[in-house]
């Protein structure tokens, strides 16, 4: 390259780099990736409605009206006790606002035809891929001398409106304060004596607050109605007076007022849940950010706004910031910064030590800076979403970027006659091929790894352009293309004799391996492993198999030894690593304590137990940053304990063991304590695997019959237990039991008991806490009989009851049954979903095999339109996709190599280096017992693309040398090719490995990056062994090259 073109090239790349760095502040930054596709959620309530009523009367009609909307991808619904929701998942290109308007319009048209008492359905936009109930970004506590109700009123009227005006705020909720309610405590004796029911009182209250039309005023221009407005309850004293004087009924010519039947009071509603930070109660403001907003910027902006509001705060009130989730993001970004600096420092130090030339180091640094600058331009115009995965992807790419530069520099300075561009292009494309398949991953995987793949892909393409055009120009300007120099030549002569001796020994080793080629190949195969350990015990219809490999004698006497002998490293990885793999999300070190009480308990009882736990945790202050308590009901409470950065690494484990011992002091409570180490649960043995089967169909009754049929098939196995035909869909849902009274009409007629009398009787036993009516201002009204708390199921069944002067026993007129009731009815695409769950006492693989056999039998019986499939979790759910993706990677790499070398045999040999390099990954995770998560899976893709790069360079030189060294054997030609390319290959692998070392600095608890780093490092280091000793056996012959 001449001086003038070199200067123009350097100037062009400098301009592009400056443009890229100027665009860097404009790139969006987020903590975790966010899916841009939207979902609309329609929510509604119908007090006291059962799931069946809600689904038939409300959910089904609404679903039908929305199913024909354009841009809808999927519709799912949940109909529960008193509330339901419909989720409409939209296509990414769908106009969200337009579809929301269409849904709102249809709701207005249909609302009058829906059941009376149903709330008006609310439509809101949510983002898929994000937890709808995610943790709040900021939590403030408001305290003072006022009552919780007054504190809540101040927060709702003053603080929330001001904070909601700020940009980036999604929603603000309050916790800790309770609204007021009107309680009417009915005297049961008076109600029974006067033969009154709650409905009679409710009707009288409705009439009190109903506006009365007095008439109309007419003139020539208008006609106006005259209405008598009833009291609205604005004044508490007036409201209580009006209610006490309310005429409920008339008996024997005497007016019966409400004050004669009940005591009336206004007070705070009983809490439906508790939320405390560090054991302290009070009113708390929970601020959630809008989707797509920068967490750090929103946090800083809202904290500044709250400081301004505190200046006008009454002296009796105080506001304290309890939690800021953005602090964790700042810490993670600091980790990224540390990794980046360490990676750059290690790589540059390695290059300096390897070349011992400051000018060459400057060339690599300038090339790396130009690559990043050009990449930033692509990020901006393509719209790459920067988050923790993308930022770490940039750091990971440093080693790969330097690889390309090292190969080009080494080739240009060695003055090789053939071009390195085809091999460099092929090796880059193979790496890109491994990244392209990220677009084929399951949705939740792709959400996290898509930007990671985009960053690597862009950086690799930019590095290829920089290596091919900018590097020669820089080498020329720095005077590095003028030969090695006299001093370097003298040093090279000193090592020449050593190199010759090493190459002779290397050739002897390869010659021995090739002479025993079949034995060597067999050893390579056994090192990787044959999947004989995956063979099933029995195969239906294969008698020869069942009598040999499937026989009991083979399983007991031969299989354990054959599996070990032939399974290789694949067996070790599958049994001891893959089985324990899981999907993890990056989060702070936290300990979770969950507790639930049996049915019949109250939320106050569980709250008292959790107060003891909070006091105990508060006394164990070492390493604890904060602990947040959330109690949603008697059947679920949770404490999330977060540890400070300065905490001892063993503090979470110590506290977990102490909490396990302390929790056992409370009988009757089921505990789950997890987060670090092995989780604890006293709900029973958790070692036996639990299976779920999802049945779908258009007829719910038929679906229940199919579930019962499958349960019959499963029950024949002695290891199957705890079969639930209609299990809860989600792990957090708790079983609910209901009492049903089946009346005998003949007995009722014989004893003179009317249905209305039975209804009034059941009022005495109804402890439901939901409001009976609402006043015009929205205040809830509860009517409670004073005798309801004295009555229970035993009294109902065993004591005589008197209604309307008729004395009888309830078992004489009917039968009471207690049964498990599903919490909700689930539908997808207007198909009912039913879940069957059972436990298998034994191996997961054997249980899966048995379940699949029974499902195959069931599928032969079910009608078209119905389906039954196993619900898988984590890695197992997409195991089939894993193999498809790897086959796609292999196919792309084979196609690229075949085009490059115009051969079928050589690309086939190159492809074989991929599974052999996996041996390094297998052994790394097995030997060192590292955790396997999505990062470990990604390391397989990385090694697939990177492990073949060095071999491609060797094969490229091998083919070039065969043409000019036809008198040598293929083995000698391969040795010469290794001699010429081993240094850049070694430097490339080591630079990539060193670039990944900073990702192991924070230990095994680092989600994704630790397993990605150790897996890729192990695979790449073992790929050197594959290139040096395994590939020549498959590629070379001892006879002369042709």
Q: What is the pLDDT of residues 666-679, one digit of tens each?
A: 878 888 888 876 66
**Of all helices (H) and strands (E), which one includes residue 987?**
helix 970-996
| pLDDT at site 1020 | 93
| pLDDT at site 832 | 92
Specify whether the backbone of 483 is left (phi greater than 0), alpha (psi in -120 to 50) or beta: left
Domain boundary among 675, 701, 723: 675
Residue the block writes with tokens 């779920």 = 692
In the predicted structure, residue 226 carries a pLDDT above the cut 90: no
Count of C-beta atoms within a 10 Å radius of residue 267:
11
In the predicted structure, residue 195 carries a pLDDT above the cut 90: no
Count of C-beta atoms within a 10 Å radius of residue 1025:
14
User: Any idea what DSSP says for residue 1040?
Assistant: B
Specify the higher pLDDT residue, 492 or 855.
855
Whether the CB-CB separation of 181 and 268 falls below 8 Å is answered with yes
Q: What is the extent of the structural domain holding 383?
A: 3-28+330-483+879-1035
CA nearest neighbour of 395 among 992, 802, 1015: 992
Q: Does residue 264 lie in a domain region?
A: no
Q: Does residue 106 lie in a domain region?
A: yes
Q: What is the pLDDT of residues 269-279, one digit of tens each?
A: 777 778 787 88
CA nearest neighbour of 1016 among 944, 931, 934, 910: 944
User: Within this chain, do residues 667 and 715 fall inside the same structural domain, yes or no?
Assistant: no
Residue the block writes with tokens 């405590």 = 185
- Give the ranges where 67-218 is alpha helix by DSSP (H): 96-110, 148-154, 160-164, 188-193, 198-208
User: Within this chain, do residues 916 and 834 fall inside the same structural domain, yes or no?
Assistant: no
User: Within this chain, do residues 563 and 614 fall inside the same structural domain, yes or no?
Assistant: no
| pLDDT at site 711 | 92
The Cα–Cα gap between 254 and 624 comes to: 68
Q: What is the mean pLDDT of residues 118-138?
A: 70
CATH at residue 617: 3.30.70.1430
**CA neighbours closer than 13 Å in the CB half-sphere of residue 802:** 6
Q: What is the pLDDT of residues 697-730, one digit of tens each?
A: 999 889 989 999 999 999 999 889 888 888 877 6
User: Within this chain, do residues 702 and 839 fall inside the same structural domain, yes or no?
Assistant: yes
Tokens of 332: 């993670």
Q: What is the pLDDT of residues 208-222, one digit of tens each?
A: 877 555 566 665 555
In this prediction, residue 485 has a pLDDT band, given cuts at 50, 70 and 90, of very low
Q: Does residue 450 lie in a domain region?
A: yes
| pLDDT at site 38 | 75
Whether the CB-CB separation of 208 and 770 falls below 8 Å is answered with no
In this prediction, residue 71 has a pLDDT band, given cuts at 50, 70 and 90, of confident
| pLDDT at site 926 | 93
User: Within this chain, do residues 551 and 608 fall inside the same structural domain, yes or no?
Assistant: no
| pLDDT at site 14 | 92
User: Within this chain, do residues 562 and 630 fall inside the same structural domain, yes or no?
Assistant: no
User: Within this chain, do residues 560 and 432 fall inside the same structural domain, yes or no?
Assistant: no
Whether the CB-CB separation of 977 and 954 falls below 8 Å is answered with yes
Using alpha carbons only, give the angle 733, 739, 744 rounded to the nearest 5 degrees: 150
Whether the CB-CB separation of 383 and 370 falls below 8 Å is answered with no
Q: Does residue 514 lie in a domain region?
A: no
The Cα–Cα gap between 836 and 841 comes to: 17
| pLDDT at site 191 | 85
Q: Which contacts of 332-335 are long-range, i.e. CB under 8 A and separated by 24 or more positions?
A: 332/31, 332/388, 332/586, 333/296, 333/388, 333/391, 335/1002
Q: Does residue 638 lie in a domain region?
A: yes
CA nearest neighbour of 42 among 91, 108, 135, 93: 108
Q: Does residue 248 lie in a domain region?
A: no
Specify the higher pLDDT residue, 688 or 927.
927
Q: Does residue 923 lie in a domain region?
A: yes
User: Within this chain, do residues 626 and 704 fall inside the same structural domain, yes or no?
Assistant: no
Q: What is the mean pLDDT of residues 156-179?
A: 84
Q: What is the pLDDT of residues 321-379, one digit of tens each?
A: 888 888 877 887 788 788 888 888 888 888 888 778 888 888 888 988 999 999 999 99
Domain boundary among 128, 147, 177: 128
User: Within this chain, do residues 554 and 595 fall inside the same structural domain, yes or no?
Assistant: no
Q: What is the pLDDT of residues 942-996, one digit of tens each?
A: 888 888 888 888 888 888 888 887 788 888 888 888 888 888 888 888 888 888 8
Chain mean pLDDT for the chain: 82
Paired sense of beta strands 780-785 and 180-186, if any: parallel
In this prediction, residue 794 has a pLDDT band, given cuts at 50, 70 and 90, of confident
Q: Does residue 998 lie in a domain region?
A: yes
User: Within this chain, do residues 910 and 947 fall inside the same structural domain, yes or no?
Assistant: yes
Domain boundary among 549, 576, 603: 576
Q: What is the pLDDT of residues 848-893, one digit of tens each?
A: 888 988 999 999 899 988 999 988 765 445 555 566 777 888 888 8
In the predicted structure, residue 432 carries a pLDDT above the cut 60: yes
Least confident among 705-719, 771-785, 1019-1033: 771-785
Rounded to two decimals, the pTM is 0.64
Q: Which of 611-632 are b and which e, b meaning 16 or more Cβ less than 10 Å from the residue's Cβ?
A: eebbeebeebeebbbebbbebb
How would you write 314-349 as a 3-class SS string?
Answer: CCCEEEEEEEECHHHHHHHHHHHHHHHHHHHHHHHH
User: Within this chain, do residues 535 and 413 fall inside the same structural domain, yes or no?
Assistant: no
CATH at residue 954: 1.20.1640.10
Report residue 720 CA to chain centroid gap: 30
Q: How many domains does the chain have?
A: 5
User: Within this chain, do residues 535 and 564 fall inside the same structural domain, yes or no?
Assistant: yes
The Cα–Cα gap between 691 and 133 comes to: 26
């Amino acid at each position: 390259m001449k001086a003038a073109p070199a200067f123009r090239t350097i100037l062009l790349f400098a301009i592009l780099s400056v443009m890229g760095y100027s665009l860097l502040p404009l790139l969006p930054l987020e903590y975790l990736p966010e899916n841009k596709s939207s979902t609309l959620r329609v929510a509604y309530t119908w007090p006291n409605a059962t799931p069946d009523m809600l689904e038939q009367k409300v959910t089904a009609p609404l679903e039908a009206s929305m199913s024909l909307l354009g841009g809808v991808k999927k519709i799912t619904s949940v109909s529960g006790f008193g509330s339901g929701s419909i989720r409409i998942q939209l296509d990414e290109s769908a106009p969200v606002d337009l579809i929301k308007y269409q849904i709102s319009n249809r709701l207005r048209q249909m609302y009058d035809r829906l059941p009376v008492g149903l709330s008006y359905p609310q439509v809101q936009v949510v983002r898929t891929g994000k937890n709808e109930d995610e943790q709040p970004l900021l939590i403030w506590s408001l305290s003072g001398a006022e009552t919780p109700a007054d504190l809540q009123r101040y927060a709702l009227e003053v603080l929330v409106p001001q904070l909601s005006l700020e940009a980036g705020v999604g929603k603000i909720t309050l916790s800790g304060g309770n609204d007021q309610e009107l309680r009417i405590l009915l005297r049961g004796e008076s109600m029974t004596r006067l033969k009154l029911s709650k409905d009679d009182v409710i009707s009288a209250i409705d009439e009190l607050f109903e506006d009365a039309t007095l008439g109309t005023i007419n003139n020539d221009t208008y006609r106006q109605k005259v209405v008598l407005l009833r009291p609205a309850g604005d004044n508490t004293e007036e409201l209580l007076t009006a209610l006490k004087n309310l005429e409920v009924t008339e008996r024997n010519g005497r007016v019966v007022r409400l004050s004669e039947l009940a005591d009336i009071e206004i007070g705070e509603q009983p809490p439906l849940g508790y939320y405390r930070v560090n054991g302290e109660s009070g009113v708390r403001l929970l601020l959630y950010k809008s989707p797509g907003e920068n967490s750090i910027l929103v946090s800083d902006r809202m904290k500044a706004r709250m400081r301004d509001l505190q200046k006008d705060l009454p002296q009796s009130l105080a506001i304290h910031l309890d939690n800021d989730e953005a602090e964790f993001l700042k810490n993670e970004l600091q980790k990224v910064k540390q990794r980046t600096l360490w990676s750059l420092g290690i790589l540059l130090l390695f290059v300096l030590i390897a070349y011992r030339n400051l000018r060459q180091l400057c060339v690599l640094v300038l090339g790396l800076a130009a690559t990043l600058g050009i990449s930033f331009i692509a990020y901006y115009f393509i719209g790459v979403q920067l988050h923790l995965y993308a930022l770490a992807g940039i750091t990971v790419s440093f080693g790969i970027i330097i690889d390309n530069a090292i190969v080009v520099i080494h080739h240009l300075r060695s003055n090789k006659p053939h071009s390195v561009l085809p091999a460099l292009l092929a090796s880059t494309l193979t790496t890109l091929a491994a990244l392209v398949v990220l677009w084929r991953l399951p949705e939740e995987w792709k959400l996290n790894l898509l930007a990671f793949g985009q960053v690597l892909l862009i950086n690799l393409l930019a590095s290829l352009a920089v290596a091919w055009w900018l590097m020669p120009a820089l080498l020329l300007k720095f005077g590095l293309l003028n030969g090695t120099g006299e001093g370097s030549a003298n040093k090279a002569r000193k090592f020449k004799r050593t190199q010759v001796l090493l190459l002779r020994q290397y050739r002897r080793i390869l010659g021995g391996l090739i002479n025993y080629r079949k034995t060597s190949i067999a050893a390579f195969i056994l090192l990787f492993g044959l999947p004989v350990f995956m063979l099933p015990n029995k195969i239906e219809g294969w008698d020869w198999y069942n009598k040999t490999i499937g026989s009991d004698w083979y399983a007991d006497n031969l299989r354990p030894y054959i599996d070990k002998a032939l399974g290789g490293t694949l067996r070790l990885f599958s049994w001891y690593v893959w089985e324990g793999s899981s999907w993890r999300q990056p989060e702070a070190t936290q300990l979770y304590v969950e507790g639930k009480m049996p049915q019949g308990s109250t939320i106050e009882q569980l709250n008292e137990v959790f107060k003891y736990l909070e006091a105990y945790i508060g006394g164990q202050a070492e390493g604890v940053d904060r602990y947040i308590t959330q109690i949603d009901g008697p059947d679920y409470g949770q404490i999330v304990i977060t540890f400070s950065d300065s905490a001892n690494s063993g503090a979470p484990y110590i506290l977990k063991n102490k909490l396990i011992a302390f929790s056992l002091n409370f009988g009757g409570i089921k505990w789950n304590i997890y987060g670090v180490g092995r989780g604890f649960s006293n709900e029973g043995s958790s070692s036996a695997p639990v299976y779920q089967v999802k049945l779908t169909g258009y007829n719910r009754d038929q679906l229940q019959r199919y579930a019962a049929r499958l349960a019959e098939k499963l029950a024949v196995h002695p290891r199957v237990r705890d079969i639930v035909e209609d299990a809860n869909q989600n792990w957090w849902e708790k079983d609910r039991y209901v009492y049903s009274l089946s009346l005998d009409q003949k007995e009722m007629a014989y004893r003179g008991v009317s249905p209305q009398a039975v209804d009034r009787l059941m009022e005495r036993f109804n402890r439901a806490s939901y409001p009976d009516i609402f006043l015009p201002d929205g205040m809830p009204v509860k009517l409670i009989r004073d005798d309801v708390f004295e009555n229970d199921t035993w009294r109902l069944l065993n004591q005589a009851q008197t209604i309307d002067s008729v004395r009888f026993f309830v078992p004489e007129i009917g039968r009471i049954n207690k049964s498990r009731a599903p919490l909700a009815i689930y539908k997808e695409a207007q198909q009912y979903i039913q879940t069957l769950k059972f436990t298998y006492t034994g191996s997961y693989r054997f249980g899966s095999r048995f379940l699949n056999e029974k499902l195959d039998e069931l599928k032969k019986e079910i009608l078209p339109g119905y389906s039954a499939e196993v619900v898988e979790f984590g890695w197992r759910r997409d195991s089939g996709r894993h193999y498809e993706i790897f086959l796609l990677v292999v196919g792309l790499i084979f196609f690229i190599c075949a085009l490059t070398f115009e051969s079928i045999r050589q690309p086939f040999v190159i492809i074989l280096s991929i599974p052999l390099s996996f041996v390094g990954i297998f052994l790394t995770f097995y030997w060192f017992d590292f955790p396997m998560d999505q990062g470990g899976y990604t390391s397989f893709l990385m090694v697939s693309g990177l492990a073949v790069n060095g071999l491609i360079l060797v094969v490229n030189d091998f083919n070039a040398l065969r043409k000019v060294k036809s008198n040598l054997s293929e083995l000698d030609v391969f040795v010469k090719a290794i001699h010429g390319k081993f240094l850049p290959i070694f430097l490339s692998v080591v630079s990539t490995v060193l670039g990944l070392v900073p990702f192991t600095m924070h230990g095994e608890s680092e989600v994704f990056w630790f397993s990605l780093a150790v897996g890729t490092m192990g695979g790449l280091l073992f790929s050197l062994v594959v290139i040096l000793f395994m590939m020549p056996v498959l590629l070379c012959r001892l006879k002369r090259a042709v």
